[in-house]
Amino acid sequence: MFQRANRHYVKWFSIIEHELSLLFRLFSPLCAKCFSCTLSQAENQQRSKHQFWCCCLTDNQVHDHWKSLDAIQRLTDINWYQKLAANSMAIRKRRTLGNGPCPALGPSGCLIRKCRPATCSTLICEKMLFVLVKSRILTCRITGPLQIEDITDAPDILPELCGIKNRRLVTEQDVRRYISAVTQLRRRLVVVAEEKRTFLIEEALEAYLGKGGGKK
Ligand code: SF4
Ligand code: SF4
């Protein structure tokens, strides 16, 4: 059940989101390359690998999570969506598959700087999983995208912090546990040499967007 935005929870969510962004930065430039490769494949009608296309081009998390996102964004800017729509016009004219492109997608990435839909902040797509598995940080089989909570000990508290669910009270200790789990994963990835990460990112792009499904 959707809850009213809780400023206290939103503040905690922002702190967690910042920690997550430090982790995802280590995958750069994976998303930028995934985006341009997807656009190229879409324009050339190469749709056989579309299940691995850029999530922001094929998905629409803004409208899927409209109630909670609107409630949170309005806390700082009542006209947030109008501004978003004005800035994302160029990219929205492109046609892809699914219900995307997401209206928050601008020419240089997501236009929502703070408090994105939780599903965006925690998504570990197949290509990211590929990098983590090949770095020996994870040992799972890659059968589809996962969320951070699936691959770490982070407690499942973001639905509460975002106002999507109201199953329990979230405590500061839960938030600390979440941050600690993300930090541990980041520390394991940061020790993988940058050259190796860059190499694995290229391999992931080739495996999923080149060959279409992790085939080596
Ligand atoms: S599918 Fe993965 S690599 Fe591509 S844009 Fe989304 S998160 Fe980034
Ligand atoms: S909200 Fe941002 S990160 Fe999430 S799907 Fe839309 S553009 Fe991508």
Q: How confident is the model at residue 4 (pLDDT cuts 50, 70, 90)?
A: low
Number of domains in the chain: 1
The beta strand positions in 28-169, using DSSP E, are 105-106, 109-110, 123-124, 146-147
CA distance 34 to 14: 26
Spacing of C-alpha 189 from chain mean position:
17
Task: For residue range 74-94, list pLDDT tens digits in order.
Answer: 999 999 999 888 877 566 666
- Do 58 and 100 meet the contact criterion of CB atoms below 8 Å apart? yes
In this structure, the residue with its CA closest to atom 4 of ligand 1 is 54
- Do 100 and 56 meet the contact criterion of CB atoms below 8 Å apart? yes
Is 2 a domain residue?
no
State the Rg of the chain over Cα: 17
Which structural domain, as residue segments, surrounds residue 101?
7-44+52-210
CA distance 61 to 48: 23
What is the reported pTM? 0.93
Task: For residue range 147-188, list pLDDT tens digits in order.
Answer: 999 999 999 999 999 988 888 899 999 999 999 999 999 999
CA of 129 to the centre of ligand 1 (A): 11
CA of 55 to the centre of ligand 1 (A): 5
